Structures are given as C-alpha cells and as structure tokens.
Amino acid sequence: MTAAVDCRGVSVRFLSERRSVTALEDVSFEVAPGGFMSLLGPSGCGKSTLLRVVADLITPSEGSVSVLGTTPQEARRARALGFVFQDAALLPWRTALQNVELPLEVGGRRSLPQGAASPRELLKLVGLSGWENSYPHELSGGMRQRVAIARALLGGPRLLLMDEPFGALDEITRDRLNEELRRIWMETGATILFVTHSVYEAVYLADRVLALAAHPGRVAAMETIGLPRDRDLSIRDTPEFVAIAARMRAHLGHGAIH
C-alpha cells in the first residue's frame, strides 16, 4: 500500500545574507492512507515548514517527499491536497457559501469532480447549515474556522493539511472542533496531517504523533496512539490517555507547551 505521505531524510535550510537557519534536519516519516498524524513540537521546530514541504510550497534542501504516490507538485496540481491555515483567511466581502466556493473560481475549474460534496453539503458537514449567507464578520472565530475547513474539503482532497487551525480559539470551542474534526475525518476517509503545539490536542486527535525537537527541527519521537478509534473528549481523563500525554511531554523535554 502506497503511503499517503512519505518523507525521507528531509532537510530544509533557509539562507539569508545574515545567517543560515536549519529549519529541518533529516526528517523521515510516513503517513498511511486514511491515517491521522499530529505534528507536535515547540515554536520554531519546523512544523509549518514541514507542512509546506508536503504542500509543495517549499522545496527541501535535501531528501525526498512523495505525496499520494507522486510528487508534492503533482498532488497539488491534481487538487488532491486541502490546506487549512491558523487564521481562517476568509474573504470578508463574500458569504460563507461563496468562501467555500472560492477554489472553484480561482483554479479555473468551474465544476466539481463527480461525486464530490457540494459547497452547501460541506457547510452542513462542518455544522453550518443555515449560515450559508452570513458574512465572516457575522460569524464567531470557531465558525470561521469551520468555513475554512469546508473550503479545504472542496473537491474531496485525499490529504488534508492543517496548520494549528484551532490555535486562536478558546478551549471550549477548540474542544468541540476537535471532536468534530474526528467525525469529519471518519466520514470523509481523508488522510490528515495536523500541526499543533498542544500535547492534548495532538494525542486526542491522531492515531500517530510525530514529536519534533527544535534547533534544528528534527524527529524527537514517533508514537502510535493505541486509543480506540471511537473516542470522545472524556477519553482525556482515562489513565491510558494521561500516560500517553506524559510520555509525549517527556519526548519533548521541558520546552513543551500545553
């Protein structure tokens, strides 16, 4: 079975006139098709850089990356990737529905692939039925992130890349969206690569967690999360969850942030 993401010995160096930064050094990992992997680590350890390498926004200095059995560039061109940023990045003059429809217009492809969910169905999937005609300023931060997720799901991407999508939200909203994201993941069957610096979020969401250490960004640990596939937030109170979270924190050292 071809991995959804296969990174082999990836290094990324940023060179400027003043200095050179090794953002990633010799990072290797695989994500199975339909898997959910969290990328966990402190600020500056290269999480966004790694996601950008997979998304074909950065070319690695060394190593190779294959996405859905092809190059990141091919995967992007085939519209097999969806990207959700930390900030929802919606266009304020367009309604929720028009924001979800946006990729259809900018990509020059006006129709969806056969069988793909419509923008309206995607808003329903993220719990926003009835809000189609609202503008971003009329929505809460959590609702705007849901619109951004619906937009990233347009066209049925097989790989969803999420860069701290809930980082700016309060804890209660983040908890709710964490539960919804697991439901969406199971309903769509997409592979998800999810960046966070919260140990709890990383462990709750994923079936595997890649912990990164900083300066230079490198793999600190890879853990398979042996929690049941059907889980709700109360699992965070179980001894199993607490033990995994403690182990992850130990991998990260004292620099870890909740």
Ligand X SMILES: Nc1ncnc2c1ncn2[C@@H]1O[C@H](COP(=O)(O)OP(=O)(O)OP(=O)(O)O)[C@@H](O)[C@H]1O
Residue 48 binds to Mg ion (criterion: CB under 5 A): yes
Query: Closer to ligand X at the Cβ: 86 or 134?
Result: 86
Give the residues across from 218 on adjacent strands: 213
Structure tokens at 90: 């919606």
What is the rounded distance in angstroms from the CA atom of residue 256 to the CA atom of residue 178?
Answer: 20
| The binder of ligand X chosen from 27, 40, 47, 54 (CB under 6 A) | 47
Closer to ligand X by Cβ: residue 48 or 191:
48
39 vs 225, which CB is nearer to ligand X?
A: 39
Close Cβ partners of 202 (under 8 Å, ≥ 6 residues apart):
38, 39, 40, 194, 196, 209, 248
Which residue in 11, 49, 95, 99 binds ligand X (CB under 6 A)? 49
Which residues, 6+ apart, have CB-to-CB distance to 172 below 8 Å?
Answer: none
What residue 224 binds from Mg ion, ligand X, none (CB within 5 to 8 A, per partner kind)?
none
46 makes contact with ligand X (CB under 6 A):
yes
Please give the single-letter amino acid code of residue 216: P
Applying CB under 6 A, among 3, 32, 33, 44 the residue interacting with ligand X is 44
Q: What is the C-alpha separation between 199 and 162, in angstroms, rounded?
A: 16
Minimal distance in Å, beta carbon 49 to Mg ion?
Answer: 8
Interface pick for ligand X out of 151, 182, 197, 251 (rule CB under 6 A) = 197
Cα distances (Å, whole numbers) of residue 246 to 5, 28, 179, 252: 27, 24, 21, 10
14 binds ligand X, rule: CB under 6 A: yes
Site residues, Mg ion (CB under 5 A): 48
Site residues, ligand X (CB under 6 A): 14, 21, 23, 41, 43-49, 197, 217
